[in-house]
Structure 1
Amino acid sequence: MKNFVLIFLIFPSIVLCQDFSDRWKGYFSYYNITDLDESGNKVYAAAENAYFIYDIPTQTLQTVTSIEGLSGNKISKIYHSENYGLTCIGYEDGLIQIVMDNNQNIFSVVDIRDKISISPNNKRINNFFEFEGKLYISTDFGIAEYSLQNLEFEDSFFIGTNGSQIQINQITILEGKIYAATSLEGIKSADITSPNLIDFEVWQTEYTGNWKGVLNFSNTIFGLRNNNTISTLQNGTASIFNAVGSNVTGFNVSGEQLVITAANQVSAYNSELNLEAFIDQLQDAEFSINTSVSSNGQYFLGHSSLGLLNFQDSSTTVFSELSPAGPLLNRIFSLEATASDLWVTFGEYDQFLNPFPLNSRGLSHLTEEEWINIDVENLNNARELSNVSIDPSNPNRVFVSSFFDGLLEIENNELIQQYDSSNSIIEGVPSNINDNRIGASVFDSQGNLYFTNSIAENQLKRLNANGEFVNIDMSDGYLNPTETSSSKMVIDNNNNIFIGTLKDGVVAYSPTTNTSALISSNIQGVEFPDTFNANPNITALEIDQNSRLWIGTQAGLRVMSNPTAIFNENQNVRVSPIIIEDVDGLPQELLFEQFITDITTDGANNKWISTADSGVFQVSANGQDILNIFNVDNSPLPTNSVRTVSINQSTGEVFFGTTSGLLSYSSRVTSGNETLENLRAYPNPVRPNYTGLVIIDGLTNGANVKITDVSGNLVFEEFVDGGSLQWDTRAFGKHKVASGVYFIVVTGEDQIETKVGKIMIIR
């Protein structure tokens, strides 16, 4: 009887990844180390979806992120080949990326990830093992064989019962035999020189049971069972070497030592199988180690929240923290940027404004290019930190909203006071006086802080500049305040306030008349998206430079051109979608049915709109033109789930807070300047190989910009909103201008100040 072997061919497919570092920056967290490798006096540390290299002799760091071309997905394994000068990154979705040492080029190997015949749940890369120029890849479906010389797949081995797919956790080779540790079918072995490794019948089960790992150390095969017992394996007999007693998360050979990482200990053995190091305590820190490696008598531990730790003496509990600086976590909830600072919160509440299950995650503060991370223990263990408002009169003072524990006042990165129902007018929800859900907050022009208090009788409160708390009468705005959740809030130039709610629409408040009103679907002219409720969930609010109210919902975008009309006796309001033309010239709604998470305005009144699953859209001032769409396919965004956007108006740096990391994009659009003193254009000169836009900045609001050739012929003219504009080097949008020197003539809005600059175009 013939045995038929089903062979899954993996066709070679390798893609050079794009480097985005010219316009993008990454601010990833490197404090949760998920895997380590040691090679050539360097430690390679995977930190969720990025990695860094620590050079032991020079004590220097190099980071590699999605900015340089990594996918941004969750890394499951990292391995460096000293023989071939490259780093292999394995991902949970089956993607493999190769990073070259010599030029840092990154190649994506998509074969496993894109293979239709393999279930998406079975593509995880579990381990790499290099042998004689080949990389043996342990996956959740079997074994893949990859040539490091040719950078291509050679074979794949499905060694489960009858050639079925089976999870392979680790591979090793000793004395001509390849061993594979499986989760369900024991440790299988075969002759590495066999030409028929694709035939499952050449693989024999030498050791039954469930195995998490197998490796070769000191010419002995060691196996790690699922019950965390480590055994030596010889001639079909498994002899217990170490019953660890807690979950083993790391099992490797590094620095000529066998290194075992468990939930409560790290142990290392020399070639004589004598215990060289035993680490089970960290000075002033919780022992939460994911993996570890050894190198020249030093030990490097991957902690789940402290990053890469270095023990130069394993007999003490003293260690050094080596990870690059960054925010506490990659799961960003909200951002608040100014010219000099960036505050990051990690929240969080869900789309229904439910804060449970509660979490405690601290705060991160970027100032003067230095990260200051404030642990939750230094914030009185306040939970669900969701919003930051910076005091405009004192940038060192901020107020942080907790969606469970009240309002925190922080100055110089230290907690000054925590306000809640025990010491202020803040109210708890009806069922629990200690559940104090403070949402968004904003400062008015007098230095008073307004903030929302969800599911409470008095939903809008004010902390006056003199320290007095005041309840605001919102009886005409909130219909059932003790049943209403509020989240986002914005304020206009006249201190009018607009608050987004879960199901009731937008609540407005005028401090001038001390009146409130409700913008809901019950009002004529309000055209909210259709949802299961009468009103959608208001997920984002923004007042632009023309005093229009932009409203983001879980089902699309709306704009209110005259928001203060809601306070008039004869309300004449209009809340409507923006209608644009698609590529076929047909009308369509801008961001139709998109779940919008945040909206912010840049110096040119363009809108930056983040979404829950489609990335970020940059649209023109009136929304009629989509200027940019940033997503995982065309940018270094690690995910399309972008929760928050904030802009440094002085530099034009746009920060994107995603569920998988923090990044920024240099928009080169800045807010208006006081004078034209800093007028400039760049790049200058514009060389033949440059295909981008010319940026002219240092402008004042409302300035007129004219560009002429040396003969005085006008080739471009525009009035400016904000502090910069972009020119495509075309004459009024038609043909490209010829080589030569061009004058940039800028006249201020008052027509008193004029400034002239020059730019050279080289075709």
Structure 2
Amino acid sequence: MKIFQFILILFATVFATAQDFPGWEGHFSYVNIGGLSKGNNKIVAAAENAYFNYEPNLEFTSTFSTVNQLSGRKISAILYTEEFNFTLIGYENGLIQIVRDQQNQVLNFVDIVNRVTIAPTQKRINHILEYQDFAYLSTDFGIVEFNLDDREFGDSFFIGDGGSQIKVNQTTILDGKIYAATDNGLYVGDLNNPNLIDFNSWTRINNGSIKTIATFENQVFLTNSANSLFVLNEIDNSLNFVNTFNASIRDMRVSKEDLLLITRNQVFSYDENLNEDIPIFEVNGLDLDLSTAISDATTFYLADRNFGLLEVSEQSGIPTAKFLSPNGPILNRVFSLTAASNQLWVTYGEYDQFFNPYPLNTRGVSHLVGENWSNILPEGLDNARVISHATVDANNPDRVYLSSYIDGLLILENEELILRLDNTNSAIEGIASTADDNRIGASVQTPNGDLYFSNGLSENPIKRLNTNGVVEAVDISSVFDEVLSSSSTKITSDAQGNVYMATFKTGVMAYQPENNRAGRISSEINGVDFPNVTNANPIITALAVDNSNRLWIGTSEGLRVMFNPSSVFTNSTLNVSPIIIVEEDGVAQELLFQQAITEIVVDGANNKWIGTADSGVFQVSANGQEVLNRFTRDNSPLPSNNITSIAIEGNTGLVYFGTVNGLVSFNSRVTDANNDLSEVRVFPNPVRPNYTGEVTVDGLTEGANVKITDITGNLVHEEFAQGGSIRWNTTAFGKHKVASGVYLVLITGSDEIETAVKKIMIVR
């Protein structure tokens, strides 16, 4: 017999505070609620990878996400304990976190995660039961005891035949006995037995598949896979039938002195005499998709997978629901982001790495304006599928163009659909085999107001929506003769209005509207040094033109830069090459060698923000020679290292990162250049003794000269702005911190005519 036991390892518990990530903000979805807990006059609701507290008496909501040191992984169980005044969170990967809301503290317990004798797919925390000073964790391998007072793991119980690992769905305790509901039957053990870790101390008293279990009115109730409710006879361990339900039982719990059973769209409530109250089955006409529910006095709180947390008052007739989930996007699985002045659009696509949109999805889009989210559901978008990208009209910020990778191009104004363009009413083309399969991957607006968009697997893969609202085909047949076999998606343009489009296996296609010329950037062309792959060309996954008119190309196997993109339209030799950097040890290295690039965007200082499929985000300098920042799950609130999209709001310097597990933003303080110096700011001001960051001067014009002097005129810093801001580390030319005093910020525009003067006080 082999007995397993968890032993606390002090270094396996990681302490963190909830304020470790200044400048970051989470924008998570609280629509899909999977778990609820209650205590101390508040409701704790778990979303996919974040949670929130709702206090009914105050109508106050507070959220907790990766910005507060949550792991970002999927939450599978949650418990708020009144006795110890903290929230205990269990995750699908076995991680346990304790969050002390009042103290802004998070404790991580990675003992189960690091357990090598348990398969990674069997570490899920399914249920948490609080009993006296312990929490009993039901997992996919057995039961784990956790001391809530000492905050350390106790015994582990492997209760299957021969001490094998079996999935435990839930546990309950009555009269000193612990009952375990498993897919292999109902097990019972005596908590007073000092040898309970021995599997022989456990008895299987029923062989059926038990889904849920709870103690109610000093009796054990349970449900099986046939959706029948039973009460356990403790004398002979027999099961007495109570009721059968027509729908699958998703949860059972005791709340407000009632026994609640939750199905997809109903909540059944039993009192102490097993009298059944009228079930909740229709709320505001909503098609409910419930995970669980709790009750409080005459109020039910429903955890719904599509509508978030709902508050429903007990009353006759059809109840009315109050929506309690915090403001946020529809989903956490972000596909594409588009930022414009004071707004952000989020689409949920998606197509895979081979540009295949199947299986198709219909998910709607989300729109952030200021701090308020609007979610446009599929029915408001003509049920368009696979919406992969958004472009905000530069001349009308209330108008947006949505690309559907199956259903054409949608035009919205003030969040209302006004037109859908497809093969039936425009020059948009379907794929060869299906005329109504209109694969619009993305769009871009050129300086003259025309909208260019990719129309994949069609005879003319680049289309133009002109300012008169007419779709026209762009002829690039002279350079691209594989249009029906090579998908196309992302598209961008330069300051001259030239257009560049990414393809699956044929490189980058280019079009020059001014001279109606087409061009191609691919491996077989002299001067193009694309990464070596099995196909002739790597998959082109990202495109961006920077402020120096260089074309940055992201591929499935690395990064390339084209230093003279307009040469593709002439007979000049192309120059597409990797960025080579020299490490501190003197070794030359290709920047982002063999990394799968997913996104490239350019900020106001011409820095590049580069997203990858599994290595997080890299911010590199204008020429790519210096890595300024790298953000991953380990050193930032990113909920995943799989970055799907990046967008920058140039007026504020906010950088948005979309991932497969959620959306976060970072205040880079790098803004776009202003037209004049009327809005120059200096912050923080004053600089206080405990401040260790940099001073930002923003509201600058492109190329403005910024001089910082002491009050007597001695120069301590000088810099030319690239974009709309500069940052000063409060040193005299990088050598030593300047002394306390008043300093002058003298700004001269690049025309040497416009000027501005600001003061800043530094207190050491």
Q: Is TM-score (shorter-chain normalized) higher than 0.5?
A: yes
Shift of 1:20: 4.5
Q: Which moved more, 1:215-224 or 1:701-710?
A: 701-710
| Post-superposition CA distance 1:418-444 (Å, at most 9, x none) | 111111111110000010111211112
Report whether the alignment pairs 1:11 with 2:9. Answer: yes
Greater CA drift, 40-49 or 617-626: 40-49
Does the 8 A contact of 1:476 with 1:518 survive in 2?
A: no
Query: What's the offset of the Cα at 1:654?
Result: 0.6
- Alpha-carbon separation, structure 2, partners of 1:512 and 1:692: 47
Residue of structure 1 equivalent to 2:647? 646
- Whole-Å Cα distance in 1 between the matches of residues 445 and 106 of structure 2? 46
SS at match of 1:248: coil
SS in 1 for 2:261: strand
1:60 lines up with 2:60 in the alignment: yes
* 1:516 and 1:567 in contact (8 A); partners too: yes
Distance 1:318 1:77 in 2: 28
Please give the alpha-carbon distance, in whole angstroms, between the structure 2 residues aligned to 1:473 and 1:178.
73
Cα offsets for 1:483-537 (capped at 9, x unmatched): 2211111111111111111111111111111010111111111000111111111
Q: Percent identity?
A: 50
Equivalent in the alignment of 1:159: 159
Residue of structure 2 equivalent to 1:492: 494
Partner of 1:140: 140
Go from structure 1 to structure 2 and tell me whether the alpha carbon gap of 1:122 and 1:361 turns closer, same or farther (over 3 Å shift).
same
Deviations 1:211-237 (A, max 9, x none): 122210011101222232221011211
Separation of aligned partners in 2, 1:745 and 1:378: 52
Q: Which moved more, 1:367-376 or 1:311-320?
A: 311-320
Contact 2:5 2:154 in 1 (8 A): no
Is the Cα–Cα contact under 8 Å of residues 6 and 154 in structure 2 kept in the other structure? no
Mapping 1:608-627, distance limit 5 Å: 608-627=609-628
Contact residue 529 and residue 578 of structure 2 kept, 8 A: yes
Structure 2 equivalent of residue 688 of structure 1: 689
Mapped to 2, the partners of 1:247 and 1:584 lie a distance apart of 62
- Other-structure match for 2:129: 129
In structure 1, the partner of 2:26 is: 26
Aligned position for 2:589: 588
Deviates most, 375-384 or 189-198: 189-198
Cα displacement (A) at 1:200: 1.9
In structure 2, how many angstroms separate the alpha carbons of the residues matched to 1:301 and 1:489? 44
**Contact 1:10/1:115 (8 A) holds in 2:** no
What letter is aligned with 1:520? S
Structure 1 residues 726, 193: CA separation in 2 closer, same or farther (over 3 Å shift)? same
Q: For residues 242 and 33 of structure 1, what CA distance do their matches in structure 2 show?
A: 27
* Aligned mates of 2:696, 2:411 — CA distance in 1: 40
Verify the 8 A CA contact 2:444 2:453 in the aligned structure 1.
yes
1:272-323 C-alpha deviation (Å, 9 max, x unpaired)? 2111240223433223112111111211111111111221025424322221
Q: Which residue of 2 aligns with 1:374?
A: 376
Q: CA deviation at 1:627?
A: 0.7
Structure 1 residues 99-110: aligned runs within 5 Å: 99-110=99-110
Cα separation, 2, equivalents of 1:273 and 1:101:
37
Alpha-carbon distance in structure 2 between the residues aligned to 1:334 and 1:244: 42
Give the deviation of 1:208 after TM superposition. 2.6
Query: Quick one: distance in 1 between partners of 2:227 and 2:763?
Result: 68
Tell me the residue number matched to 2:89: 89
Larger mean CA deviation between 159-168 and 596-605 belongs to: 159-168
1:582 and 1:418 map into 2 onto residues whose CA distance is 51
Q: Deviations over 1:179-212 (max 9, x none)?
A: 122222x222222222222222222222332212
Residues 2, 163 of structure 2: 8 Å contact kept: no
Which whole-Å deviations, capped at 9, do the CAs of 1:91-128 have from their partners, x for residues lacking one? 00011111114323221111111222222122111111
Q: 1:726 deviation in Å? A: 1.6
Given the alignment of the two structures, is residue 507 of structure 1 paired with residue 509 of structure 2, yes or no?
Answer: yes
Over the aligned positions, Cα root-mean-square deviation in angstroms equals 1.6
CA distance in 2, matches of 1:557, 1:735: 37
Q: CA deviation at 1:629?
A: 0.6
Give how far 1:10 is off: 4.5
Q: Distance in 1 between matches of 2:3 and 2:608?
A: 57
Tell me the secondary structure at the aligned position of residue 512 of structure 1.
coil
Contact 1:430 1:455 in 2 (8 A): yes
Range moving further from structure 2, 81-90 or 315-324? 315-324
| Contact 1:38–1:255 (CA under 8 A) maintained in structure 2 | no
- String of CA shifts for 1:705-725, please: whole Å, max 9, x gaps: 222233433322221101111
Alignment check: 8 A CA contact 1:10 1:156 kept: no
2:367 aligned partner = 365
Q: Equivalents in 2 of 1:275, 1:207: separation in Å?
A: 26
Contact 2:212 2:251 in 1 (8 A): no
Q: Which residue of 2 aligns with 1:529?
A: 531
Provide the rounded CA distance (Å) in 2 between the counterparts of 1:132 and 1:734.
59
Report whether the alignment pairs 1:389 with 2:388. no
- Give the drift of 1:745: 2.0
For residues 8 and 666 of structure 1, the distance between their equivalents in structure 2, rounded to whole angstroms, comes to 42
Secondary structure class of the residue paired with 1:483: coil
> 1:638: how far off?
0.6
SS in 2 for 1:408: strand
Match of 2:721 in 1: 720
| Alignment TM-score, normalising by the size of structure 2 | 0.97
Asked if the contact 2:146/2:154 (under 8 Å) is kept, the reply is yes
Specify the alignment match of 1:304 in structure 2: 305
**Higher mean C-alpha displacement, 95-104 vs 639-648:** 95-104
Q: What is the CA–CA distance in structure 1 between the aligned matches of 2:114 and 2:501, rounded to whole Å?
A: 45
Task: Encode CA deviations 1:142-195: one digit per residue, 9 max, x unaligned.
Answer: 2221121121122222222222222221111111212122222x2222222222
> 475-484 or 78-87, which moves further after superposition?
475-484
Asked whether 1:549 is paired with 2:533, we answer: no
Q: Do structure 1's residue 415 and structure 2's residue 411 form an aligned pair? A: no
Measure how far apart 1:6 and its partner are: 4.0
Residue 264 (structure 1) shift: 4.0
Matches of 1:584 and 1:271, distance apart in 2: 74
In structure 2, do the counterparts of structure 1 residues 380 and 4 end up closer, same or farther at CA, with 3 Å as the change threshold? closer
Q: Which amino acid aligns with 1:273?
A: L
Partner of residue 207, structure 2 = 208
2: CA distance between counterparts of 1:225 and 1:752? Answer: 81
Q: Is the 8 A contact 1:142 1:166 kept in 2?
A: yes
Match of 1:67, SS state, is helix
CA–CA distance in structure 1, aligned partners of residues 315 and 691 of structure 2: 55
Question: Is residue 635 of structure 1 aligned with residue 636 of structure 2?
Answer: yes
Aligned counterparts of 2:100 and 2:257: Cα–Cα separation in 1: 25
Secondary structure at the aligned position of 1:278 is classed as coil
Alignment-derived partner of residue 439 in structure 1: 441
The answer to whether structure 1 residue 674 and structure 2 residue 672 are counterparts is: no
Give every structure 1 segment of 4 or more consecutive aligned residues whose post-TM-superposition deviation is greater than 6 Å: none
Return 369-378 or 738-747, whichever deviates more.
Answer: 738-747
Matched residue, 1:477 = 479
Q: Which position in structure 1 is the counterpart of 2:295?
A: 294
* 1:21 Cα deviation from its structure 2 partner: 5.3
The equivalent residue for 1:462 is: 464
Q: Is the 8 A contact 2:426 2:470 kept in 1?
A: no
Verify the 8 A CA contact 1:38 1:295 in the aligned structure 2: no
Q: 1:539 aligned to 526, 538, 541, which one?
A: 541
Between 1:146-155 and 1:493-502, the stretch displaced more is: 146-155
Q: Distance in 2 between matches of 1:4 and 1:328?
A: 48
Distance 1:591 1:462 in 2: 34
* TM-score normalised by the chain length of structure 1: 0.97
Aligned partner of 1:239 in structure 2 is 240
1:230 maps to 229
1:427 match: 429
Q: Secondary structure at the match of 2:738?
A: coil
Letter of the 2:279 counterpart: F
Q: Take 2:270 and 2:59, find their aligned partners in 1: how far apart are those partners?
A: 26
- Give secondary structure in 2 for the equivalent of 1:330: coil
Match of 1:325 among 324, 327, 333: 327
User: 1:583, 1:187 → 2: CA distance?
Assistant: 62
Cα drift, residue 649 of structure 1: 0.3
Amino acid at match of 1:634: N
